[in-house]
């Protein structure tokens, strides 16, 4: 490059720099933000997918065998004793009664009549309405007092039905002549209840 050309290039460079310096002034204020653009239209919905088919229900399994029976539990403690119930009403009272027949006689005619003898009176006493299990004693009531007769057969214990049948005769310790013909009382007494019943007895004179 010639010296003249070099000078010319240098002058152009300086001029260019000066022009650039003159054009680049101080930066101006920032402008206000522009309005927001309108929203774009919404896109169309996509198509719904196909529903899958329901699977088939499985078959029910067979019932298993019943389990073994468990051991029996221990017996529980005994419950408390309940209160005593109210006493029931008193049942109807059955009056005790007796009848007597002469030993060996088939007649039930009352009052019973026997003839005076060494062992007279020999009688069979029938009773009813007495407490079951009681013991029966029979006495003869006279003007001289009350005398026990001897049991000679049957049972002096009252049955479950409240009855008894017993054979009695004069106590051998009492002399036969102590009795005289007349009307006497036979008394049957039950123990331990103390219930009594009586019947009449006729002692007649012995046959000649």
18's enclosing H/E stretch is helix 3-23
Global pTM? 0.52
Mind listing the domains of the chain with CATH numbers?
A: 97-204 (2.60.40.10)
In our burial notation (b when 16+ CB lie closer than 10 A, e otherwise), range 154-190 reads eebebeeebebebbbbbeeebeeeebeeeebebbbbb
pLDDT at 177: 45
pLDDT at 185: 94
pLDDT at 189: 96
pLDDT at 7: 67
Encode the chain (208 residues) as per-residue pLDDT tens digits: 666 776 677 777 776 777 666 555 555 566 677 677 677 677 677 677 676 566 667 677 788 788 788 788 788 788 788 788 776 544 445 789 999 998 877 667 888 888 877 766 789 999 999 999 999 999 999 888 888 998 988 889 999 999 999 999 887 665 544 678 889 999 999 999 999 999 999 988 877 6
Among residues 178, 156, 179, 183, the alpha carbon closest in space to that of 167 is found at 156
Structure tokens, 69: 């029976």
Helix/strand/coil percent split, the chain, to 5 = 10, 30, 60
Round to whole Å and give the CA distance between 71 and 80. Answer: 27
Round to whole Å and give the CA distance between 19 and 22. Answer: 5
pLDDT at 73: 78
pLDDT at 174: 57
Phi and psi torsions of 91, nearest 5°: -70, 165
Among residues 84, 122, 83, 120, the alpha carbon closest in space to that of 101 is found at 122
Phi and psi torsions of 188, nearest 5°: -105, 125
DSSP 178: G
pLDDT at 163: 96
Q: What is the DSSP string of 42-108?
A: PPPPPPPPPPPPPPPPPPPPPPPPPPPPPPPPPPPPPPPPPPPPPPPPPPPP---EEEEEETT----
């Amino acid at each position: 490059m010639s010296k003249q050309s070099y000078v010319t290039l240098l002058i152009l460079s300086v001029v260019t720099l000066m022009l650039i310096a003159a054009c680049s002034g101080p930066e101006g204020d920032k402008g206000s933000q522009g309005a927001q653009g309108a929203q774009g239209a919404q896109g169309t919905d996509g198509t719904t997918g196909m529903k899958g088919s329901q699977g088939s229900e499985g078959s029910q399994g067979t019932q298993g065998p019943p389990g073994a029976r468990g051991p029996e539990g221990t017996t529980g403690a005994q419950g408390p004793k309940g209160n005593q119930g109210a006493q029931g009403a008193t049942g109807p009272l059955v009056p005790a009664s007796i009848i007597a027949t002469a030993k060996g006689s088939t007649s039930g005619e009352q009052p019973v009549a026997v003839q005076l003898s060494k062992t007279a009176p020999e009688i069979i006493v029938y009773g009813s309405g007495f407490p079951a299990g009681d013991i029966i004693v029979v006495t003869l009531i006279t003007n001289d007092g009350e005398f026990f007769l001897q049991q000679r057969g049957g049972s002096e214990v009252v049955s479950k039905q409240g009855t008894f049948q017993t054979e009695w005769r004069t106590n051998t310790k009492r002399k036969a002549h102590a009795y005289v013909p007349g009307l006497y009382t036979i008394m049957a007494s039950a123990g331990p209840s103390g219930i009594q019943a009586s019947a009449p007895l006729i002692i007649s004179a012995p046959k000649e």
